[in-house]
């Protein structure tokens, strides 16, 4: 649904900051936006200083003029609340608004996304500004959404946060004894006697840096701090949300998320969002699978099964080490890839390139030259023309996934706080291994959380399910018992939601489902590996090798080297009507491709289409039909064999079964199944 039921087209536009420009420039902006078929602007993202010069004064004069001008010019508005950066006077008069970093250093005024989430001043003034804005602009019928703050994130270790953390813990545990038990404080005599003994886990207390990563001596308290910090920031979002909802109940509310952003548990956040919007800034060397995986994560956290692409650069970023230009056709390709994975609006950061401070070399629709004959402007305009023509073709389309990959923020935090077995163990890497295998075979995937239903999927993959929360084993058990195919990996089923080991042998509560007992884990350094055979081909066993015993499962493959040579590395267990696989090590891309191809075939999983290497096929279905997005991520021409009769929606051309569609490098086709 995204921007709402009344919007029957893919909205197209971006962040627009006319307050940074003299008014003569606005007319030029309007002319150029019209030429580019832009129909939506995100306004007012960083204007708190201008809107509220002191405690009790609000000044909306300039914003009034902008709002009027934009409305007269027929643009829709996503209106931001401006609370992503606080004004200087507020920092001077209410220093509680300033954050304290992990080393205990209290920040001064500067930067952005800089307010302490437990600051009384922030919690008072931010929702107040949101309410003032809602009151003032509630009758503008071109406002299609509210955009709260901007890219919420970070963390704070100040005294207000410390006090709030104690309250959070009281609510969570009820008694100090329960909390001590959960943190296992008998270790090193860390027993807390009083709630006030609790201090934040930071570099002054339990944290330290080793091997270039942030480590903790007490995972339990650090994990709870992560949950608390995500909740604290979410409360700030909710305060603004409620303030606005009271006044404009019918306008949907969002905030721009950031994909795999570790500090905030977006699955929890999504419950409080009317729709999902997010900012996609892939690094130049990110594979298409990684970009798609981010979109699928963002799509999967909300039951609308779609999102708004709130920001992407039309050409270049300014903040990466090497800010490589998007090549001709690349912005269009990435835009359609977003659409293929659930985007119902395509927006840029930003419309006009700024002249000062750190983003002056960040790409924009209108660059410093201010002309419409630039490569970037032409590409923006061409895409705008296409999207306008496509109208509501694939709008609100759903992704027909039969495969789910589990992603759980608590597990993410816990895996990467784990002291041992390996610093190389990264949750996203494990997920990427399996996601990429599905992506390469054009198998649509939902990325789901622990609250989501499993029964609708033919295959569920839970890579590196280190933390198996109480009751989740039962969910997996009944899924497999009823015929599902479940896959998990090394270092799974180890701890509960408090990061306390489930005694009795690994993988804990998953042992009966998997039919194995893992006795030891061998962590291999970067240049060492073991090996195994699968379907007559040899593959490496890297990073972590689980050494296990069969307890009912069948061994699919064994290690070939070292003292555990001949013991199982891959197992498969019949459980009820279903099958549970355990992949006891990390291997290479070829292996995952092969294994998943076999599992997809055996589980009768649907592939969108057969395509040559480097050409993605993704699908979205709505009441207008079934739409297959073909995305040529390579620079070469590719021929794709048609297995049905289609209409290509961008050109309107019909293509018949047996014909071959020739696609240029970086080209896109949207096939409607006839
Ligand atoms: C983020 C922010 C924008 C801008 C862009 C630049 O996504 O939300 O304000 O800073 O990055 O890439
Ligand atoms: Zn704080």
Reported as a single tens digit per residue, the pLDDT across 30-47 is: 999 999 999 999 999 999
> Cα(143) to centroid of ligand 1, in Å?
21
Specify the domain boundaries for CATH 3.40.50.880 within the chain.
403-602
> Count of alpha carbons within 13 Å of 435, Cβ hemisphere only?
24
Q: From the CB of 279, is ligand 1 less than 6 Å away? A: yes
R_g of the chain, CA atoms, integer Å: 26
> Cα(272) to centroid of ligand 1, in Å?
23
Q: From the CB of 147, is ligand 1 less than 6 Å away? A: no
Domain 615-673 has CATH 2.60.40.1180: yes
> Cα(155) to centroid of ligand 2, in Å?
8
Mean pLDDT of the residues in the chain: 98
3-class DSSP assignment, residue 54:
strand
Q: From the CB of 411, is ligand 1 less than 6 Å away? A: no
Q: Return the closest-CA partner of residue 36 out of 17, 12, 16, 18.
A: 12
Q: From the CB of 309, is ligand 1 less than 6 Å away? A: no
Q: Which residues contact 664 (CB under 8 A, 6 or more apart)?
A: 632, 637
Measured by CA distance, the residue closest to atom 3 of ligand 1 is 349
Residue from 111, 113, 150, 356 to probe ligand 1 pocket by mutation (most atoms less than 8 Å from CB) = 150
Q: From the CB of 361, is ligand 1 less than 6 Å away? A: no
Q: What do you get for the CA distance between the two ends of the chain, in Å?
A: 25
Specify the domain boundaries for CATH 2.60.40.1180 within the chain.
615-673
**Helix intervals (H) in 52-96:** 61-72, 88-93
Cα dist. 366→35, 65, 306 in Å? 12, 21, 28
Phi-psi group of 104: left, alpha or beta (phi > 0 → left; psi -120 to 50 → alpha; rest → beta) = left
Token representation of residue 373: 């004959």
> Kindly report the CA angle at 281 between 277 and 283, in degrees rounded to 5?
155
Q: From the CB of 341, is ligand 1 less than 6 Å away? A: no
Measured by CA distance, the residue closest to atom 5 of ligand 1 is 349
151 is catalytic: yes
Element (H, E) at 336: helix 330-340
Q: How far is CA 24 from the centre of its chain?
A: 39
pLDDT in tens, 59-72: 999 999 999 999 99
Q: How far is CA 15 from the centre of its chain?
A: 20
Burial class (CB in 10 A: 0-12, 13-18, 19+), 14: buried
Measured by CA distance, the residue closest to atom 4 of ligand 1 is 349
* Active-site hit among 155, 206, 240, 311: 311
> Cα(359) to centroid of ligand 1, in Å?
9
- Which residues is 573 bridged to in the sheet? 580
Q: From the CB of 667, is ligand 1 less than 6 Å away? A: no
Cα dist. 28→15, 33, 65, 350, 586 in Å? 16, 9, 16, 15, 55
> Cα(362) to centroid of ligand 1, in Å?
9
Q: Is the pLDDT of residue 425 over 90?
A: yes
Q: Is the pLDDT of residue 1 over 70?
A: no
Bond from prior residue into 22 cis (ω within 30 degrees of 0): no
The CA distance from 630 to 614, in Å, is 10
Q: From the CB of 666, is ligand 1 less than 6 Å away? A: no
Mean pLDDT to the nearest integer, 4-26:
95
> Cα(411) to centroid of ligand 2, in Å?
25
3-class DSSP assignment, residue 236:
helix
Q: From the CB of 315, is ligand 1 less than 6 Å away? A: no
SS (H, E, C) 463-480: CCCCECCCCHHHHHHHHH
**592 phi and psi, to 5 degrees?**
-60, -40
- Are 93 and 56 contacting, i.e. CB atoms less than 8 angstroms apart? no
> Cα(217) to centroid of ligand 2, in Å?
22
Measured by CA distance, the residue closest to atom 7 of ligand 1 is 279
> Count of alpha carbons within 13 Å of 164, Cβ hemisphere only?
20
**673 phi and psi, to 5 degrees?**
-75, 125
Place 2 in a pLDDT band, splitting at 50, 70 and 90: confident
Mean pLDDT to the nearest integer, 266-288:
97
Q: Tally Cβ neighbours within 10 Å of residue 391.
A: 13
Specify the domain boundaries for CATH 3.20.20.80 within the chain.
11-155+232-390
CATH among 3.40.50.960, 3.30.420.10, 3.40.50.880, 3.40.50.12780 for 403-602: 3.40.50.880
> Cα(302) to centroid of ligand 2, in Å?
29
Place 4 in a pLDDT band, splitting at 50, 70 and 90: confident
Domain 11-155+232-390 has CATH 3.20.20.80: yes
Residue from 349, 354, 356, 363 to probe ligand 1 pocket by mutation (most atoms less than 8 Å from CB) = 349
pLDDT in tens, 575-629: 999 999 999 999 999 999 999 999 999 999 999 999 999 999 999 999 999 999 9
The minimum-distance atom of ligand 1 relative to the CA of 256 is 8
Which ligand has the minimum distance to the alpha carbon of residue 151?
1
- Are 530 and 524 contacting, i.e. CB atoms less than 8 angstroms apart? yes
Which ligand has the minimum distance to the alpha carbon of residue 311?
1
- Are 424 and 450 contacting, i.e. CB atoms less than 8 angstroms apart? no
Element (H, E) at 411: helix 409-417
**575 phi and psi, to 5 degrees?**
-140, 115
Mean pLDDT to the nearest integer, 262-281:
98
pLDDT at 487: 99
Q: From the CB of 571, is ligand 1 less than 6 Å away? A: no
> Cα(349) to centroid of ligand 1, in Å?
7
- Are 277 and 307 contacting, i.e. CB atoms less than 8 angstroms apart? yes
The CA distance from 170 to 153, in Å, is 24
- Which residues is 672 bridged to in the sheet? 627, 647
**Helix intervals (H) in 157-311:** 159-173, 176-183, 219-247, 266-270, 288-300
What letter does residue 352 receive in the DSSP assignment? B
Q: Which residues contact 228 (CB under 8 A, 6 or more apart)?
A: 164, 165, 168, 169
The bridge status of strand 537-550 relative to strand 585-586 is antiparallel
The minimum-distance atom of ligand 1 relative to the CA of 258 is 7
Bond from prior residue into 421 cis (ω within 30 degrees of 0): yes
Question: Has this prediction a pTM greater than 0.85?
Answer: yes
The CA distance from 263 to 234, in Å, is 11
DSSP H helix total and E strand total for the chain: 17, 29
* Active-site hit among 151, 379, 386, 497: 151
Q: Which residues contact 487 (CB under 8 A, 6 or more apart)?
A: 434, 459, 460, 461, 462, 463, 580, 581, 582, 583, 599
Q: From the CB of 559, is ligand 1 less than 6 Å away? A: no
pLDDT in tens, 71-130: 999 999 999 999 999 999 999 999 999 999 999 999 999 999 999 999 999 999 999 999
The bridge status of strand 668-673 relative to strand 625-632 is antiparallel
Residue from 111, 279, 314, 354 to probe ligand 1 pocket by mutation (most atoms less than 8 Å from CB) = 279
pLDDT at 5: 75
Q: From the CB of 317, is ligand 1 less than 6 Å away? A: yes
Place 184 in a pLDDT band, splitting at 50, 70 and 90: very high
Q: Return the closest-CA partner of residue 465 out of 416, 427, 418.
A: 427
The minimum-distance atom of ligand 1 relative to the CA of 313 is 12
The CA distance from 186 to 207, in Å, is 18
Q: From the CB of 281, is ligand 1 less than 6 Å away? A: yes
């Amino acid at each position: 649904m995204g921007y709402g039921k009344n919007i029957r087209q893919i909205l197209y536009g971006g962040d627009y900051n006319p307050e940074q420009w003299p008014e003569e420039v606005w007319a030029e902006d309007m002319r150029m936006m019209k030429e580019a078929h832009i129909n939506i602007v995100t306004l007012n993202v960083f204007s708190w200083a201008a809107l509220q010069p002191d405690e009790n004064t609000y000044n909306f004069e300039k914003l009034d003029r902008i709002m009027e001008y934009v409305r007269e010019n027929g643009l829709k508005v996503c209106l931001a609340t401006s609370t992503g950066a606080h004004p200087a006077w507020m920092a001077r008069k209410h220093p509680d608004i300033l954050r304290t970093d992990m080393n205990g250093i209290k920040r001064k005024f500067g930067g952005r996304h800089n307010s302490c989430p437990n600051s009384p001043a922030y919690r008072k003034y931010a929702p107040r500004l949101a309410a003032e804005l809602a009151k003032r602009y509630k009758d503008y019928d071109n406002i299609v959404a509210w955009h709260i703050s901007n890219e919420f994130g970070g963390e704070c270790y100040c005294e207000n946060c410390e006090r709030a953390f104690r309250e959070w813990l009281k609510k969570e545990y009820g008694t100090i004894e329960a909390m001590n038990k959960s943190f296992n404080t008998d270790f090193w005599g860390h027993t807390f006697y009083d709630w006030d003994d609790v201090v934040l886990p930071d570099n002054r207390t339990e944290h330290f840096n080793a091997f270039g990563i942030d480590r903790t001596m007490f995972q339990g308290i650090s994990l709870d701090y992560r949950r608390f910090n995500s909740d604290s920031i979410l409360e700030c979002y909710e305060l603004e949300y409620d303030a606005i909802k009271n006044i404009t109940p019918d306008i949907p509310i969002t905030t721009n998320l950031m994909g795999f952003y570790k500090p905030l548990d977006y699955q929890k956040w999504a419950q409080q969002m009317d729709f999902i919007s997010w900012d996609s800034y892939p690094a130049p060397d990110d594979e298409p699978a990684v970009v798609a995986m981010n979109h699928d994560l963002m799509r999967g956290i909300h039951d609308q099964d779609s999102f708004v692409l709130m920001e992407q650069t039309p050409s270049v970023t300014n903040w990466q080490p090497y800010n490589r230009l998007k090549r001709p056709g690349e912005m269009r390709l990435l835009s359609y890839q977003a659409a293929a994975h659930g985007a119902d609006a395509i927006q840029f950061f930003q419309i006009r390139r700024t002249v000062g401070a750190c983003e002056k070399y960040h790409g924009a629709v209108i660059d410093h030259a201010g002309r419409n004959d630039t490569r970037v402007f032409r590409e923006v305009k061409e895409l705008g023309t296409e999207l306008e023509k496509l109208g509501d073709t694939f709008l609100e389309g759903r992704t027909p996934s039969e495969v789910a990959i589990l992603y759980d923020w608590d597990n993410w935090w816990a895996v990467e706080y784990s002291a041992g077995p390996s610093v190389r163990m990264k949750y996203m890497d494990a997920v990427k291994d399996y996601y990429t295998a599905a992506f390469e075979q054009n198998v649509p995937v939902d990325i789901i959380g622990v609250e989501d239903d499993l029964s609708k999927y033919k295959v569920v993959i839970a890579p590196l399910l280190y933390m198996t929360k109480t009751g989740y084993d039962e969910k997996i058990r009944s899924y497999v018992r009823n015929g599902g195919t479940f896959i998990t990996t090394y270092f799974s089923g180890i701890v509960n939601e408090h990061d306390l080991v489930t005694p009795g042998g690994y993988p804990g509560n998953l042992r009966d489902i998997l039919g194995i007992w893992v006795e030891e884990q061998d962590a291999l350094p970067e240049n060492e590996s073991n090996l195994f055979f699968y379907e007559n081909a040899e593959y490496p066993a890297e990073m972590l090798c689980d050494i296990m015993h069969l307890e009912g499962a069948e061994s699919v493959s064994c290690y070939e080297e070292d003292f555990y040579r001949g013991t199982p590395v891959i197992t498969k267990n019949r459980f009820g009507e279903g099958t549970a696989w355990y992949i006891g090590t990390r291997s290479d891309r070829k292996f995952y491709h092969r294994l998943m191809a076999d599992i997809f075939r055996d589980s009768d999983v649907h592939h969108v289409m057969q395509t040559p290497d480097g050409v993605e096929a993704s699908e979205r279905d709505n009441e207008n039909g079934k739409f297959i997005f073909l995305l040529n991520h390579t620079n070469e021409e590719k021929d794709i064999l048609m297995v049905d009769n289609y209409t290509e929606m961008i050109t309107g051309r019909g293509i018949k079964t047996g014909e071959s569609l020739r696609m240029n490098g970086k080209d896109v086709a949207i096939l409607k199944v006839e």
